[in-house]
Structure 1
Amino acid sequence: MSSPIAAIDTDVLLTVNLIRTGRAITRQQLARMTGMSRNTISSLINTAIDAGLIAPDGSAPSTGGRAPATWRFRQEAGLVLAVGVHTSTLRLAVTDLAGQPVERRTLDWPITRGPEATLTRAAEELQDMTRRHEPPVWAAGVSLPGPINQETGRPSSPPIMPGWDDFDVVGTLEPALGVPVATGNDVNIMLLGYASTLPDQGRRESANILYLQVGTGIGVGIMSNGHLHLGAAGAAGDIGHVQVSGTDSVICRCGRTGCLEAVAGGWALLRDAHRAAVEGLSPHLKECLDRRGELTVEDIVTGVNAGDTECVTLMVRSATAVGDALAMVVSFFNPGRVVLAGPMPQGCPMFLDVIRRIVYERALSLATTDLEILPAGSGLDDELRGCALLAVNSVFTAATA
């Protein structure tokens, strides 16, 4: 499956990609990065402008002569399709080439419906969405809540995705959408999208970040010196299914017992919140359950912020378990920043306070000296950007290989 830029000269695309990623934005920088002459670079720039891929972007600060002209990647030159497969929802978007959404849709859609039904519905919705937009679609990115085989793009023994193991996601979606498709683990994609918002390229290249998603499940994205660390089998950071001491009797959705997710994940919180509501231990949760017939993690967050004792107990138990696991990972990896996404860390300051206290108390002091622990702005927006970047990165990699 070819992209709209597949026929463009490789040297032109190498030049465009350096500008796109911010590694070189002036003729001098491009010449230094590629080893090509200034005249050759000028010719490549002109070709890229004619192809609609880059545009002038002012000038850089002068270093003693005329200020050098700068260039920017035209993220408006094309579209990317984003598919976020979640436990109970299907999040779809059309974005520009930098992941800024043009249109979004969210469907109530349980992952247990399986890959064929899910991907067929996603393709139908995305085809309908793209009809209203003019720029060509370059590619699609798919975010999945489980380990991904990096060679095949297929889910690899995902613990909470029945029927998805080794399913050919790329081979199913590419013919349906007519564009190249790239897949990735959801929290790694969120981290990719988050890192793209860091203020300068130098900081991105040296970034050592843990991106912790505390949603229905729990997982960590790992960025080491600006590069995602995926692991030999794509399972790096899957801490949701590590054993938590003293919880051997708690059964996880994966079938094992004592997993972190079974104690601290969103589905575990809702399990215990429902029990607290039914038994009358929490007036707040009982009122929510009576009113709607179901509970959400946001109900627990609201209860915590309102001072509901049982909600606070549930939150502290989750934060304590997550903090214990995170302290170990911080000591091992020594990140400069930990970002927490999900309704609990983003909506409940007390959750973050508990985690910070535990990590600073239990991790190596040298690893926490300059450590930042902060909430994500929007994990869902990070996922959209990450899907687009994953897809566009794959297009440039394939075109310049």
Structure 2
Amino acid sequence: MPKAVRELLQNGHSYDEPDRMPKNISITNLDLIMYVVAIIGHFVDLAVDLNIAVRYYLAQEMEAFGWTLAFILFPAFVNTAVSIRMYAQDKQQDSVTNEVTRRHWLRIFILVLQMAPILRFTDALIYAIKSRRAERKKDPASQRLYYSLMLKEDSDAALLRIFECFLEAAPQLVLQTAIMFRGHEQFTLHQSLSMTSSLIGMGWCLAAYQRAVRFAQEDKLNVTWLGSAVQTVWHYLLTLSRVMSISVIAYLFPYWTILACSIHILLMTSWIQIFERPVFCAQTRIAEISFSFALGSVYLFTYILSVEGRTRYRYAIYYTLCFLENITCGALWFFYMKDDVKYSNVFHVVLVFIVVPYVCGVLIMIGYYSFLHPTLRKGNNDVTVSHKVDDQTFEVS
């Protein structure tokens, strides 16, 4: 009996032996490197944002300090709440995951430090290493087991990264851009570092999320590296356009921007509650609405699928609405900007960034679904297997 399976049985867990070994589940050096980069990137992004917040505080820029700190703490709170819900589900299902966090005091300590994604990425990295070791030892059952556990942790981590990027990185980018428009030149370098770290993380996290979800679903074909790259570019361009649009309005009409963003979030939350109803936090009405509100906040910048189904009409409605919002922001920038700025290069550059990246992003998205979407590939030879670990089903494509 494989060592990994024997450990499960000794701990009172159940394990169903799968029928066949799926193809192409080897862990590569690139897979391990990507997990390490994700962990390091989280710390770097947090350090850069804390740095600019401290500098605002020392300079007595209390309004900028307050908003910067709020956009650090709020997404961390959301991630902690979502992560606690994940751990509660794991406990209910007697899960064998959470490799690093079997010591409950360590889990609580890390969650208090608002570093929930680090737990999942570290667990995924450990399972990836164990799967690779099992492959080298010619132990296919253990290799498959650890690989499926890695997929589960990877999918959970990707969801947490979605909230981190679009509740923390994107709002920080809007805030720092609006502040830079106001001419805070003494912090230009530090603001640029914060904005750069946010830009780098946002596009990739969505592509990683899509890829992780597809790897974990038995009825979905896997996205190729080219497909992931195209997804990254399209989400990056769309988000860049949304950030620029909201930034110019935050600069011109800061309080009206808060109202407009709140209306958009409430509209998206209502949409999720009426038409999508994700089951992740469906145990209580308050938890369900809270999770929908968090997703609605993400929808301020981009759209992610919370439930399965046809996406054509959902995408059409969402991206049309956002395009109209962007055009409105561009018109307000054009008519209400001061005359001295209208004759500068910045004025025209901003207009270009409001419209052109959005149009290019939508065209690239259409091209992806026309030529690179996994369901377009014919004759796929991947073997799909499903097996249970602790009464929870994990699918590997």
- Superposition TM-score, scaled by structure 1 size: 0.28
Structure richer in strand, relative to its length: 1
Structure richer in helix, relative to its length: 2
- Superposition TM-score, scaled by structure 2 size: 0.28
